[in-house]
Structure 1
């Protein structure tokens, strides 16, 4: 592993614990056994380091999506099962740091759409919608209604995640997800939420 990769991984762990928006190079460098000068040399600037951390976080996000995506024919699981699997992962306490980082980066991307944060929120929306589309039967996936259903599923997951991060009330928020899944039409686990 190169020194740059080592420092990126150490920075990522630091950011998961301390957040990204108020990142300062001096305390970061001291915590990870480096210097601000080395970090700037390796990443070009503080902004370059933030971009690298956001890319690293996106790698984790895509790994989650791949974990949820079934092998074989993904459309066989349906949207409801995809939502159940995603929520089970999202609601697990050990994932809170990465999800807090996601929420922080998502919000920052909305208020600062240019520069370092630019495109982060939109890219995550597209990633998640693509996964949800893969889980829909082809005839549903390609319809306006199918697009609306997966958009609703993503909105419910995102809202529930923000609620869970804010309150820690796993039981209440999971009950809301379960309630939304119960509203789906069609046979169990075959249709969208």
Structure 2
């Protein structure tokens, strides 16, 4: 009977695997050189994690932030959601989330040409963000359909703009684009399904109802 996997060793291997993937990428990943870099054997990696794809999936999941807790911390108001979205954007560009987003973008690219290997992993990573963001938007007063659509726009929009930022290094333009996405997605006030305010809506002569 195979001995139970040591939890601490397993967690350390996942962390090291993630660091390796950030440095070397996924396209040419092979268990043998990965195992050598981690100071173990490909046989042990298979023992702990199964296939290469299962190892990659578990490595990405192990470093994924607790997105639901992050969204829950936003509170109920639109101002809190806006501040949280801005914080996430900054973290994607130079913060702790940047290497994770870069790796996710590579996974998504590979999923287009190798769906059997990476399709489920890419889809799971997308839903892991969209679902809690949609939940937070529902708490802000949007319907389920509105919340899901806006969560998709925010998550996919910020990720796409981050991709632009990584490739071009254009800080001012991508920051402005991210701010525009956030303003369009987050409700102006609790219970509002409208987008960002227009000049007419801000007029003191209009009935606010």
> TM-score scaled by structure 1?
0.76
Equivalent pairs counted in the alignment come to 186
Q: CA deviation at 1:104?
A: 1.0
Distance 1:192 1:124 in 2: 27
Q: Tell me what 2:44 maps to.
A: 38
Contact 1:14 1:28 in 2 (8 A): yes
Q: Give the gaps of 5 or more residues in structure 2.
A: 1-6, 197-209
Which of 91, 94, 100 does residue 93 from structure 2 map onto?
91
Distance 1:145 1:39 in 2: 43
**136-145 or 94-103, which deviates more:** 136-145
Report whether the alignment pairs 1:8 with 2:14.
yes
Distance 1:139 1:76 in 2: 6
CA spacing shift, 1:37–1:122, aligned 2, 3 Å: closer
> TM-score scaled by structure 2?
0.72
Q: CA deviation at 1:93?
A: 4.5
Contact 2:75 2:81 in 1 (8 A): no
Q: Tell me what 2:148 maps to.
A: 147
Select the structure of larger CA radius of gyration. Answer: 2
Q: CA deviation at 1:22?
A: 1.0
Distance 1:62 1:127 in 2: 10
Contact 1:74 1:134 in 2 (8 A): no
Q: Tell me what 1:55 maps to.
A: 58
Q: Which has the higher contact order (CA 8 A, sep 6+)?
A: 1
Distance 2:11 2:162 in 1: 30
CA spacing shift, 1:110–1:75, aligned 2, 3 Å: farther
Q: Tell me what 2:24 maps to.
A: 18
* SS of aligned partner of 2:175: helix
Contact 1:80 1:192 in 2 (8 A): no
Richer in helix (by share): 1
Which of 160, 167, 188 does residue 186 from structure 1 map onto?
188
Q: Give the gaps of 5 or more residues in structure 1.
A: none
Q: Tell me what 1:112 maps to.
A: 114
